[in-house]
Structure 1
Amino acid sequence: MKDPMKDIKKSLDATVFKNPQFTEKNKNAVFQEIHKPKKVYLLPTLVGGLLITVMASAGIYFASEKLGSESPIATEPNGPITTEIPPNHGQEGMQANPVYAAKNENEVSMLDAETAYELCVDALTDYYNAIWNGTDIDLDQFIGNENLKQYMQTKVESEYKKYGSLDSKVERLEIGDWEVKFSDDEKGGYLYLEVPVAIQKHYGGGYGEGTEFLLRNIDGKLAIVDWYTGGKDTYDYVVRGDQQKIDDPDIWNDSEWVKKFKSVTGLFDFEQKVYDRFMLTHDVNELSGLEPISIAKLYVYASYHQDFETVYALYTDREDRILWSKEEDETIPLSDRGTPEQILQTFRNIEKGAFVQTGEYEGYIEFYPNGDREEKSGFSLIQNEEGIWQVAFLPVQ
């Protein structure tokens, strides 16, 4: 019996494969796409089913015929996908950001499952690269809610504080079997994805985490509206709790919910824990290891909440730099200390400032309260005899 595949192959060899622009790399990409793991199974029509069968058979035939033992298809259709993380991932010189377009203009459906999966994998790749390797992450291309974006920015910076200094960079991610579900609502529905990932290091070893996503269609594009990484000691586990069910795509629009995770100075989780301990004891050793900007944020936080005992405890204890005593500080009238609103305005954007060291144990944070580059402010700090940064009396003059 005549093999129809030979006729198809002969035709392709004489046309598409003959084109020098259709390289071996292009062929490999086609073969990998055919064998790409799928977790979404849609009921096909009879014609669609036959077409898929023919395409898959042709792909396997050509892969084995053309590539032999050098075939890039290294896993079974349900095996893990490996995502390499190059050293410059997320930096300049990369291609333009992808557009995760939805199939329909104002809603999502299971037809968007593959695109949603690609978005989540790209987001995870940039995320782990940022917290371990210190590269930039453009959250705008992934997230469709400003409150979630701010939370994730804090999460990234906090996790980088934990992992970034370790001499163990991430080399690649291995994505396991992922799941997707669609739920309908009056806003066009949303997709739930659970994506397990194994994070592999350059020098061996690694760990695994599972992440849950909710995605909506926002202006014709898929966007993440909730992002939760479970597992003991993860940032979300500690900050959001381990009992939360990820099923509300509008949770980051809830002002009461958002208020739980936003302090006026945007304290990171580790800074909040230091502040909570320090305000009880005023033991300067609790501040050991904190960078100048973190010390400044604690000062602003205490000032905003009118915790004046903690404010004074944050001042320098170098005797030649003390301008007034604690007893004298207690007599300062409230009207001279500034309202919470004035504190916010005076120290706005201090967390985005840059520290400039001016002497052996002195320096200041340069920041721009109004966001422009013309009205610059400075916040002075002094290092004590033990090397701990403290706030200078009258830090802003």
Structure 2
Amino acid sequence: MSKRPDNDFLQPLKHRPGLAPRKNFKQELRTALIDEADRTKSRLPVQGWFPNLLVASLLIFGIFIGSDFVLNSSGGNTDSPGHENPPAVPDQDQKDEKEKQKFDEKAAQQIIGIAFAHYSVVLNGGGPESGKTFTEEGEAYRYMGEDFDTKQEVLDYLEEAFTPEAALQIFGEHPFIVKKDKLAQPGQRFSGDYLWQDTEVVSITKKESESERIVEYNVPIEKEGETKSDTYEFTLKYVDGGWKLDGVMPLSSGEEEKESKDGPQDDTPEFMLTDVEMVAYKAFSNDLNEQHLKDLPPLSIAKLYVQAELEKRYDISYALYTDREGYVLRTKEEDQAIPESHRGTTEAITKQYKGLQNGKFIQTGEFEGYVKYSNANGEQGFRMIKDEDGIWNVGFNPIQ
């Protein structure tokens, strides 16, 4: 039996662009089937062609009726009667508008604090674990920390808190060089005379654009044992889904570092937190939320513990202890019951932890390690434990 008639019926399928048939396709197919039946009725025996034709017709109709049903059910044909569109999802523009409207004094204070922390990290070698120092053309330099090997890495980090223009300005104002394919900067520390983490917002002025604010800050300045204040005005812009500082804040410079194969030497007898660590410490002391610690290396967390002990903030020092199962030696209530006479004097704590800021963290296991440092008492080890949340905490009885 010839199959030519069946092939002719399937011709409309050859040029279909997708699953959904054209609006007039089913009617055209129905007409083609009827016309072909009329043309072949007289020349083919009824018993020979009609059953095959009937089966082919039913099969093709089933395919397209089924495809219409699937498309309508899955939303492919949104013009079908009774079809309901899914609820609209708020787009990014709507989210951005909400964030712009939420801008207030608290947000302005947080932004300046975060910007200061980022700025200080970059200007001080990329954090507490900056690279080795060296001399280039008579000038002292240090390699940047391991996360800041290139200009782009520095800019990406700064742009978390600054506009791209301000980030470029910061990078351009400081004489970075490339040595052995690594970024380096002059071996100079920048101190924290300007207490940006303690600023107060004097006023907020909205510009014509909803994406800009002029914020006036009152900034404490601590120098030679006295605390004064000064007023600074900055522009804040809403960029890439968040408010960013569009300017450069002043920082004061400290002493140059000496060349050393083992890193900066401890020339300061007093224990001190870096600017970044101080920002994290103040934030953590307010609510004891460990999320303030998630970006700090183990050495910095160890230093926060020492700072809490020096300030006799035992609630903070206990909150810095590990809570990993099997490593907790006493409850908070038991810790609070320790008499003051057993905790050590300020002089004893300072002597015990002298040199810690120049220590090196050594990881000894999946979630264990210690900060190795030296002082007049010899080589010391400050025990650290990584909790289940991935944040390093202080081990109970940390000195080994």
Q: TM-score range by the shorter chain?
A: 0.3 to 0.5
TM-score by length of structure 1 reads 0.40
TM-score by length of structure 2 reads 0.40
Which entry has the higher C-alpha Rg, 1 or 2?
2
Structure (1/2) with the larger strand percentage: 2
